[in-house]
Amino acid sequence: MTAVVAMSTTTSPKTSLAKLVLYPKPKPFKVMVLGQSGVGKSALVVRFITRRFIGEYDPNLEKIYAFQTVIDNEMVYFEILDSAGDSHESEYANLESNIRWAEAFILMYSVTDKCSFDECHRLKFLINYNKRRRRLASSMRDSAIETPVVMVGNKIDQVGDRMVSTEEGQRRSKEIGCVCFHEISVRESIDQVWGVFRDARRFWRVSSKWSRRDGDRHPAALGRPLARAASDTTPDTNAAPPFCRRWTEMELDEADEVCVGRSDSTSSSGRSECGDEFRARASTDSRLPPRPARPRHPLPTRPFPAPVRRMSVAMRGNNASTY
C-alpha cells in the first residue's frame, strides 16, 4: 500500500530524534469528466478547484487534477480526470481504460450544441459497457448497483443560443440512466459547479456503501427509491428512481439486436460471443456498421414441413366440421 510519510515531533526521554510515522495514503475519489469538445469540461474542473472561470484551455490536454475539500463534513480527496473531448478511433482503448479507472462520472454537454447533447447517449453507452460488473446476461438486479453518472447541461447563460431545453435534458438523463441532472453555467455560478461534484460524491457514497455491504439488499435492487440529491432538478414523476434504471429498454433492445445479428451469421452464439460483438459496437464513433437484416417473422428452420394445424370451426346447427 502506498503511504504518506509524516514527521512526528514526539520525543522520548532517551532520544529527541524525530520518529517516522506511516499513515495510509487517503483513498482518492476518482471522477471523470466526459463530453464532446468545447462543452466546458476544463472550465468546470478549473472552476471547481480554483473557484475562477478561465476562458481558454488547451483542447487536447488530458489531465488528472488532485484536489481535496470538505463535502458533507468529510474530507474528500478528489482525483478528477478532464478527458480530451474528441477521441479519435485510435484513442478508444485509452478512453475505455479511463472509464474503467473512474468511480463516478460527470457527463457534460452544452445546451447551445445539440450535437454534444446527442453525444451523451453514446458516451453513457460506453460507460455502461465498461463499468457494469457482470455481463448483460446476468440479472437486472446485479446491474442496479453501478457507477454514478451525473448529467450536466452547461452554458445556460447563453440564453439566445440555446438548442436543448431543460425538459429534453431531464428526459434524456432519465432515459440513459443517469443518477441526477443539472443545468449550470460554469461561467456564472460557482455554486452550481459545486453542486455537480457534491452530487457525484453523494451518489457514489450511497452506491459504494450498498455494494460493499450486500448488493442484493440495495434499495435500488429492491425497487425502493434512494434519497434524491437536493440539487437534482429532475422531477420525480417516476416511481422508480434513476438508480434502478441502469439499463434502459433501448439499450437492452440494442444488445438483443446485436445478439440476434450474430446468431444469424454464425450458427453457435454464446453469451461471451455476444459480449465481443457488443464491444465492437461500443467502440465505434457514430459510424456504426450496418445492422444485419432481421426478418420480421423468424424464418422456418425445421428440415421437415411443419405439421398441418387443424382448426375447429364451430358451425351453427348439426353441421359442425373440422378443417
Ligand X SMILES: Nc1nc2c(ncn2[C@@H]2O[C@H](COP(=O)(O)OP(=O)(O)OP(=O)(O)O)[C@@H](O)[C@H]2O)c(=O)[nH]1
- Binding region for ligand X (CB under 6 A): 35, 37-43, 55-57, 59, 84-85, 154-155, 157-158, 185-187
Q: Three-state SS for 304? A: coil
Work out how close the CB of 85 gets to ligand X at its nearest, in angstroms, rounded to a whole number: 3
The residue count for the chain: 323
Q: Between 48 and 210, whose beta carbon lies closer to ligand X? A: 48
| C-alpha–C-alpha distance, residues 23 and 94, integer Å | 32
Cα 194 versus chain centre, distance: 20
Q: Between 59 and 235, whose beta carbon lies closer to ligand X? A: 59
Q: Between 76 and 81, whose beta carbon lies closer to ligand X? A: 81
Q: Between 58 and 72, whose beta carbon lies closer to ligand X? A: 58
Work out how close the CB of 54 gets to ligand X at its nearest, in angstroms, rounded to a whole number: 7
| C-alpha–C-alpha distance, residues 261 and 277, integer Å | 9
Cell of 212: 460493499
Cα R_g (the chain), whole angstroms: 26
> Hey, what amino acid is at 187?
R
- Does residue 134 contact residue 91 with C-beta atoms inside 8 Å? no
Work out how close the CB of 172 gets to ligand X at its nearest, in angstroms, rounded to a whole number: 18
DSSP 81-113: EE--S---GGGHHHHHHHHHH-SEEEEEEETT-
By beta carbon distance, the residue nearest ligand X is 85
Q: Between 59 and 270, whose beta carbon lies closer to ligand X? A: 59
Work out how close the CB of 122 gets to ligand X at its nearest, in angstroms, rounded to a whole number: 15
Work out how close the CB of 42 gets to ligand X at its nearest, in angstroms, rounded to a whole number: 4
Q: Between 35 and 241, whose beta carbon lies closer to ligand X? A: 35
Cα 111 versus chain centre, distance: 19
DSSP 186-217: TTT-HHHHHHHHHHHHHHHHHHHHHHHH-GGG
| C-alpha–C-alpha distance, residues 104 and 29, integer Å | 8
b/e per residue 81-91 (b: at least 16 CB within 10 A): bbbbbebeeee
Work out how close the CB of 32 gets to ligand X at its nearest, in angstroms, rounded to a whole number: 13
Write the CA distances from 111 to 161, 167, 177, 196, integer angstroms.
Answer: 8, 11, 19, 16
Q: Between 98 and 143, whose beta carbon lies closer to ligand X? A: 98
Work out how close the CB of 212 gets to ligand X at its nearest, in angstroms, rounded to a whole number: 33
Residue with cell 479519435: 88
Work out how close the CB of 160 gets to ligand X at its nearest, in angstroms, rounded to a whole number: 11
